[in-house]
């Protein structure tokens, strides 16, 4: 049942902002709040439709830090995603050219870069150094997975006299940023912690679309088009594409809608069955008998209920997934062979290509805004927050809000209904919620 839920959207500030900004703007974001229409798609499922007030992102008349004496640091964590270099570049350019910050440190290889035993050394990032990095995928700082001790990270920040830390990463990284800030509070340190949410799966809570996601969908459609071409090139051809999406099927769903050549899309949120009435394999058989080809798109986290559960976790603490592609290929082979139906399966996994490419134009614009607004927030003493775009407006969100849970695709939504209409797979079991 829907229920009212009051959000705590207050942003913590390190202290009174007493310094005048010298930015040459006529519009400022001081004390400006934006009312956002919050519904089930934006927030946690089960919320009633309501408006909530969020602090606007943007430059402030009054600053907490003296920019001319401030030092910033940037760290990138987790898997690669299109646009990371664009965000790094935007932060460096804004800090140097808008605020005249004298030093921006790049922390190498994620949170490892703070830990002495790994013997990584920070890099001084300058406008000349980052001028062309947006042309390339990946991150010039490198990355890593896995937790590191907050006290050791804060030790390094103290030694380096850092005033503002920009953390670019996903759900686990944002939780780490919150832990780092809590350690700073224990020590009474005045260091701003600003998160820039990064997840190619688009699964950070309360963030409707993360940077790099549009690029990922675009590249995914290219792989699906190739799978369709392969499937059409042989009798009973089956094109199978595995896309990113551990717990959320957003890339698979949006790419399916974009390319219109997918017959079955499998996502973690919709627990399908293989056999019997409403099963995937009988539906695939019927598709081959009537149309002579089929395209299947599977998010990597789909069908885990059909696989042997693994208690292991990866370096980021995520459960190790079973191989949905191996399951599908094995079961399709067994099923069709038993019915003496000839077939050909062409399997494509474009994941590392998608993760590593440069961002497309719209994502580049988005990354630029995120980097600029992150610097504005830090100079004004904001902390424990991320910069986000909600319903066309850039706002500040508390780290606590975005780390409550992972965002998943709502299979009650219009988005999923459109996917079912596009593929025609609405008759499969598990595609719609019970009742």
pLDDT at 279 over 80: yes
- Phi, psi dihedral angles at 118 (to 5 degrees): -80, -15
- In angstroms, the CA 374 to CA 361 distance is 20
CA-to-CA separations, 173 to 74, 269, 402, in angstroms, rounded = 13, 23, 11
Average pLDDT on 29-54 reads 72
- Going by pLDDT thresholds of 50, 70 and 90, the confidence category of residue 317 is low
If you write DSSP's letter for every residue of 309-341 in order, what string do you get? ----B-TTSPBPPP-HHHHHHHHHHHHHHHTT-
pLDDT at 243 over 60: yes
pLDDT at 26: 76
CA-to-CA separations, 311 to 247, 306, 318, 319, in angstroms, rounded = 16, 15, 10, 7
Token pair recorded at residue 249: 């099927």
pLDDT at 46: 46
Identify the CA nearest to 170 among candidates 79, 237, 261: 79
- Element counts in the chain: helices (H) and strands (E): 12, 17
- In angstroms, the CA 415 to CA 269 distance is 13
Identify the CA nearest to 194 among candidates 26, 341, 342, 384: 384
pLDDT at 42: 55
- In angstroms, the CA 50 to CA 199 distance is 27
- In angstroms, the CA 301 to CA 324 distance is 7
Asked if residues 200 and 209 have their Cβ atoms less than 8 Å apart, the reply is no
> What is the third-level CATH fold of 12-210+359-402?
Rossmann fold (3.40.50)
Is 201 known to be catalytic?
Answer: yes
**Nearest-5° Cα angle at 296, 290 to 301:** 150
- In angstroms, the CA 72 to CA 9 distance is 25
12-210+359-402 and 214-356+412-423 share one CATH topology?
A: yes
- In angstroms, the CA 425 to CA 83 distance is 34
Average pLDDT on 378-388 reads 98
Q: Give me the residue label for tokens 């943007």.
A: 58
Asked if residues 84 and 198 have their Cβ atoms less than 8 Å apart, the reply is yes
pLDDT at 283 over 70: yes
For residue range 90-119, what is the model confidence (pLDDT) as tens digits? 999 999 999 999 999 999 999 999 999 999
For residue range 3-19, what is the model confidence (pLDDT) as tens digits? 445 678 999 999 999 99
pLDDT at 361 over 50: yes
Average pLDDT on 192-217 reads 96
Identify the CA nearest to 264 among candidates 287, 248, 244: 287
Range scoring the smallest mean pLDDT among 255-269, 304-318, 382-396? 304-318
- Strands 33-38, 71-76: pairing kind: unpaired
Token pair recorded at residue 49: 């439709």
* CATH classification (class only), 214-356+412-423: alpha beta
Indicate the length of the chain as a whole number: 435
Helices marked H in 203-269 — which ranges?
213-232, 250-259
pLDDT at 51 over 80: no
Q: Which value, in Å, is the radius of gyration of the alpha carbons in the chain?
A: 23
pLDDT at 7: 77
Q: Which residue has the higher pLDDT, 193 or 46?
A: 193
pLDDT at 47: 47
Token pair recorded at residue 27: 């519009």
pLDDT at 64 over 60: yes
Identify the CA nearest to 59 among candidates 365, 363, 364, 369: 369
Ordered by start, the domain boundaries in the chain are 12-210+359-402, 214-356+412-423
- Going by pLDDT thresholds of 50, 70 and 90, the confidence category of residue 2 is very low
Asked if residues 67 and 99 have their Cβ atoms less than 8 Å apart, the reply is yes
Residues with Cβ within 8 Å of residue 300, at least 6 apart in sequence: 242, 243, 244, 245, 246, 321, 324, 351
Q: Single out the catalytic residue among 52, 171, 201, 363.
A: 201
Asked if residues 315 and 78 have their Cβ atoms less than 8 Å apart, the reply is no
- In angstroms, the CA 89 to CA 108 distance is 15
For residue range 145-187, what is the model confidence (pLDDT) as tens digits? 988 999 999 999 999 999 999 999 999 999 999 999 999 999 9
Helices marked H in 125-249 — which ranges?
127-130, 150-159, 171-187, 213-232
pTM: 0.94
pLDDT at 40: 58
Give the 3-state secondary structure of residue 87. Answer: helix
pLDDT at 430: 94
- Going by pLDDT thresholds of 50, 70 and 90, the confidence category of residue 44 is very low
Q: Which residue has the higher pLDDT, 327 or 308?
A: 327
Average pLDDT on 397-413 reads 93
Average pLDDT, the chain: 93
């Amino acid at each position: 049942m829907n229920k009212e839920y009051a959000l705590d959207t207050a942003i913590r500030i390190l202290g009174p902002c007493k310094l005048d900004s010298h930015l040459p703007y006529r519009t400022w974001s001081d004390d400006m709040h934006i009312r956002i229409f919050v519904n089930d798609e934006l927030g946690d499922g089960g919320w009633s439709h309501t408006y909530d007030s969020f602090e606007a992102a943007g430059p402030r008349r009054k600053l907490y830090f003296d920019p001319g004496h401030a030092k910033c640091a940037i760290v990138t964590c987790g898997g690669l995603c299109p646009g990371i270099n664009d965000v790094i570049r935007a932060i460096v350019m804004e800090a140097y050219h808008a605020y005249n910050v004298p030093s921006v440190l790049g922390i190498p290889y994620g949170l490892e870069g703070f830990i002495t035993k790994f013997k990584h050394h920070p890099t001084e990032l300058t406008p000349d150094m980052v001028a062309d990095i947006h042309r390339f995928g990946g991150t010039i700082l490198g990355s890593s997975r896995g937790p590191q001790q907050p006290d050791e990270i804060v030790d390094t920040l103290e030694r380096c006299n850092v005033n503002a830390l920009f953390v670019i990463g996903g759900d686990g990284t944002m939780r780490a940023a919150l832990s780092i800030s809590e350690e700073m509070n224990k020590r009474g340190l005045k260091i701003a912690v600003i998160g820039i949410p990064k997840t190619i799966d688009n699964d950070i809570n309360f963030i409707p679309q993360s940077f790099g996601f549009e690029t990922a969908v675009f590249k995914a459609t290219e792989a699906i088009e190739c799978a369709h071409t392969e499937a059409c090139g042989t009798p009973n051809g089956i094109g199978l594409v595995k896309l990113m999406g551990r717990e959320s099927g957003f890339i698979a769903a949006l790419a399916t809608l974009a390319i219109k050549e997918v017959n079955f899309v499998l996502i973690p949120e919709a627990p399908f069955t293989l056999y019997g009435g409403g099963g995937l394999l009988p539906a695939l058989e019927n598709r081959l008998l009537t149309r002579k080809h089929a395209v299947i798109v599977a998010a990597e986290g789909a069908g885990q209920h059909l696989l042997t559960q693994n208690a292991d976790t990866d370096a980021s603490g995520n459960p190790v997934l079973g191989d949905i592609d191996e399951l599908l290929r094995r079961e399709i082979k067994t099923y069709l062979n038993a019915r003496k139906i000839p077939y050909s399966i062409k399997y494509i996994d474009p994941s590392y290509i998608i993760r590593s490419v440069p961002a497309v134009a719209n994502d580049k614009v988005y990354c630029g805004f995120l980097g600029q607004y992150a610097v504005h927030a830090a100079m004004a003493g904001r902390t424990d927050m991320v910069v986000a775009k909600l319903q066309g407006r850039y706002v500040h969100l508390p780290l606590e809000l975005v780390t409550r849970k992972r965002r998943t695709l709502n299979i009650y939504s219009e988005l999923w209904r459109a996917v079912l209409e596009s593929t025609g797979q609405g008759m499969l079991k598990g595609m719609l919620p019970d009742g």
